[in-house]
Structure 1
Amino acid sequence: MKCLILSDSHGSEREVEEVILRHRQEVDAVIHCGDSELKKSSPILRDTYTVEGNCDIPGEFPEDITEEVNGIRFYVTHGHLYNVKMSHVPLSYRAEENSSRLACFGHSHVAAAFEENGVIFVNPGSLLLPRNRPEQTYAMASFDKEGEAKVQFFERASGEEIHTLHKIFPVDKA
């Protein structure tokens, strides 16, 4: 399973569309972790798993989503309801409750990937307003048949990979 993960695009329709079109044919799912500031009816978000962020129109999107694509269960939320700027513990509990292998979130605008208790957490950063790095970013997460995960981050305008953020998470065989 391979998915494209975006977040915190804050109304930037052209940039969201550009990134989705760049990768649509190579991914099984497109995820937007909130603060798109677009309407649910926007054709740009067609066939994407999109959640509501704190800057979105209330009720336009669900607060969270749990789905399974090609055998990988994932959980998506914006993160503001879980206080992700302070701690990942509440989000970790929720992802584990949903038996998710992948948890995608935004809100902090900080690109990051880490693993905790068998769950891969990905914050793709922001397509528009990055924090802690100069690049406007998005991410791709892929899982091979054995379940090993690879998370890559890309610069929005060029589509070039940011190798310093690249992460591989082997399957725990224990």
Structure 2
Amino acid sequence: MTRALIISDSHGLTSEILSVRDRENADYMIHCGDSELDADADELDQFYVVGGNCDFDDRYPTEQTLTINGVTFCVVHGHLHQVKSNLLTLGYRAKELGAQVICFGHTHIAGAEQVESQLFINPGSIRLPRGRKEATYAIMEWETSSNITVSFYEESGEPITELFYNASF
């Protein structure tokens, strides 16, 4: 079983990132931007990271594409893809890259949704959540692309079961 930690919009938090990272012991870790940390910050060590609209270190890429255990990810912050309006632009970009899973932030609203053969995951924000009171992050687990589970947790590690999502391609 492959396990990926997905986090976003931490806006300067450091000990919280370390706490989540150490507790979850994920195989892969993704930060979808707006960390407001330097690109070489210790807290982001081993994370695939992208820059958001509040990240001013120009060493951050605006997107990353990675393939993990048969699943291709497109990782962006979302501010350059108008994600506050809809997911069409982001979905088109992910198709260009051949990505099935799209990880993004910017809206601070936690959720997962499959649209045709694409799975969109927004882990929410561990600092400034919107749409709910809990600060959140996500864990994606899979053995094959036909059995994907996305689980959401409060920053403290408590599960938010009503947000859990199952997908397959």
Aligned amino acid, residue 43 of structure 1: D
Q: Is contact 1:28–1:69 with CA below 8 Å preserved after alignment?
A: no
Deviations 1:108-141 (A, max 9, x none): 0000100112111100000000000000000011
Which blocks of at least 5 consecutive residues in structure 1 are unaligned? none
Structure 2 length-normalised TM = 0.96
Which blocks of at least 5 consecutive residues in structure 2 are unaligned? none
Aligned amino acid, residue 128 of structure 2: L
Distance 1:167 1:48, change over 3 A: same
- What corresponds to 1:14 in structure 2? 15
Shift of 1:58: 4.4
User: Alignment partner of 1:100: what SS?
Assistant: coil
Q: Is contact 1:7–1:138 with CA below 8 Å preserved after alignment?
A: yes
Shift of 1:146: 5.2
User: Alignment partner of 2:129: what SS?
Assistant: coil
User: Alignment partner of 1:49: what SS?
Assistant: strand
Q: Is contact 2:73–2:100 with CA below 8 Å preserved after alignment?
A: yes
Aligned amino acid, residue 79 of structure 1: G
> Whole-Å Cα distance in 2 between the matches of residues 29 and 146 of structure 1?
16
- What corresponds to 1:119 in structure 2? 118
Q: Is contact 2:142–2:149 with CA below 8 Å preserved after alignment?
A: yes
> Whole-Å Cα distance in 2 between the matches of residues 17 and 28 of structure 1?
15
Aligned amino acid, residue 19 of structure 2: E
- What corresponds to 2:24 in structure 1? 23
> Whole-Å Cα distance in 1 between the matches of residues 91 and 102 of structure 2?
8
> Whole-Å Cα distance in 1 between the matches of residues 146 and 59 of structure 2?
33
- What corresponds to 2:167 in structure 1? 169
Q: Is contact 1:152–1:161 with CA below 8 Å preserved after alignment?
A: yes
Q: Is contact 2:77–2:106 with CA below 8 Å preserved after alignment?
A: yes
Q: Is contact 2:38–2:57 with CA below 8 Å preserved after alignment?
A: no
Q: Does 1:133 align with 2:132?
A: yes
Structure 1 length-normalised TM = 0.93
Shift of 1:28: 2.0
Aligned amino acid, residue 8 of structure 2: S
Q: Is contact 1:136–1:155 with CA below 8 Å preserved after alignment?
A: yes
Deviations 1:123-171 (A, max 9, x none): 00000000000000000111223532111000002x0110000111134
> Whole-Å Cα distance in 2 between the matches of residues 161 and 137 of structure 1?
9
Equivalenced residues, count: 168
- What corresponds to 1:77 in structure 2? 76
Root-mean-square deviation (Å): 1.1
> Whole-Å Cα distance in 2 between the matches of residues 130 and 63 of structure 1?
22
Aligned amino acid, residue 23 of structure 1: E
Q: Does 1:59 align with 2:70?
A: no
Q: Does 1:96 align with 2:102?
A: no
Aligned residues: percent identity?
A: 42
Shift of 1:88: 0.4
